[in-house]
Amino acid sequence: MDLGISGRKALVLGGTKGLGLACARALDEAGVTLTINGRDPESGKAAADELGAAFAQGDIADAGARTAFLESVSAQHGPFDIVVTNAGGPPPGAFLQHDLDTWRRAIETNMLAAIEAARMFVPGMAERGFGRVVNVTSFAVREPYPNMALANGARAGLHGAMATLAREVAGQGVTINNLLPGLMDTGALRRVYAAQAEQQGITQDEAKARMAQSIPAGRLGTAEDFGPFCAFLCSRHAGYVTGQNITVDGGLVRSLL
C-alpha cells in the first residue's frame, strides 16, 4: 500500500533502538525523509547509516536542555510533518519503592518530553494543514501492570493531555494518536523480566516464558509487529483517525475499550 507520505519529513525521538527504530524503518520504507534522535552516538550513527537518515544526538529527558535541542533539530532538519515520540520506560517497582525524585524523572521522560515536542511542532503542522503525532506509550494505560507504578502513572497523564490536544487540532489536518505496545521483547521489557526473575528466584528465561504464556498469542511481541502500525497512523489514509489509543499486544489487554 502506498501510504501517501513519500517526501514528508519526520522526526522520531528515541528512534535509534527498539520500537522507535521499528517506527523509523517503517517510515523509511514509505519514503519519508527521516531525522532520528537518541542519546548514544554510536548506535545513533549505525541506525542513521542503515536508514539514510539524519541523526540528532540528545537526551529528551533532560528538561534543562530539551527546548534548545528541539529548536536546533527543527532549524536544521524541519519543518516536520510527522513526529513520533518514544522514550525508554521508567524502572519497574512497586509504588512505595519510588521516591519523589524518581517520580519526577519518570514524568519528565515519559510525559513532559512528548508534551513539549507537541507544543513545539503541532502549531507549524496546523498552519501547513497536515501533521501526524504518534506517541509510543504502553498497554499499561489500558490495564495497569503489576510492579510498574511509574509507567502506569506517567503514561496515563500523557494520554489525558494528548486526548485534549487531538480534539483541539482535529479540524486543521493534524492527528494525534497513541500507540500502545504490549509485552514486546525489547531492552525495556528485558529489564522488567530480569527484575521479576530476581524477585521470584527464577531464571530470566523462566520469567520470560511466564510472560509469554500470559499472552493469548503465545509469544512476546517484536519490533517488526509494531513499526507498520506507526507508519499507517502517519499516512494520508489515517487522516480521520485521531485521539485514539491503539494497542499492539497479541490480545494481552482484556479491557473492552
Place of cell 530539551: 66
Residue 103 lies in a domain: yes
> Helix, strand, coil % (nearest 5) of the chain?
55, 15, 30
Higher pLDDT, 186 or 247: 247
Q: How confident is the model at residue 88 (pLDDT cuts 50, 70, 90)?
A: confident
DSSP H stretches of helix in the chain = 18-29, 41-51, 63-77, 100-107, 113-128, 149-169, 187-200, 204-213, 223-233
Contact 211, 183 (CB under 8 A): yes
Question: Is residue 40, in this structure, part of any structural domain at all?
Answer: yes
Give domain status of residue 48, yes or no.
yes
Residue 41: inside a domain: yes
Read off the CATH number of the domain in which 94 is found: 3.40.50.720
Q: What are phi and psi of 239, to 5 degrees?
A: -65, -15
Looking at the structure of the chain, the number of domains it has is: 1
Domain range for 62 is 9-182+221-247
For 202-206, what is the mean pLDDT? 91
Q: Does any domain span residue 188? A: no
Give the pLDDT score at 147: 86
Tell me the pLDDT band of 1, cut-offs 50, 70 and 90.
confident
Mean pLDDT value across residues 172-178: 98
pLDDT reading at 148 higher than 80: yes
Q: Which of helix, strand or coil describes residue 59?
A: coil
Task: Kindly state whether residue 137 falls inside one of the protein's structural domains.
Answer: yes
Residue 178 lies in a domain: yes
The pLDDT value recorded for residue 96 is: 95
pTM of the full structure: 0.93
Is 228 part of a structural domain of the chain? yes
What local confidence, expressed as pLDDT, does residue 24 receive?
98
pLDDT for res 239: 98
The angle subtended at Cα 122 by Cα 178 and Cα 48, nearest 5°, is 70
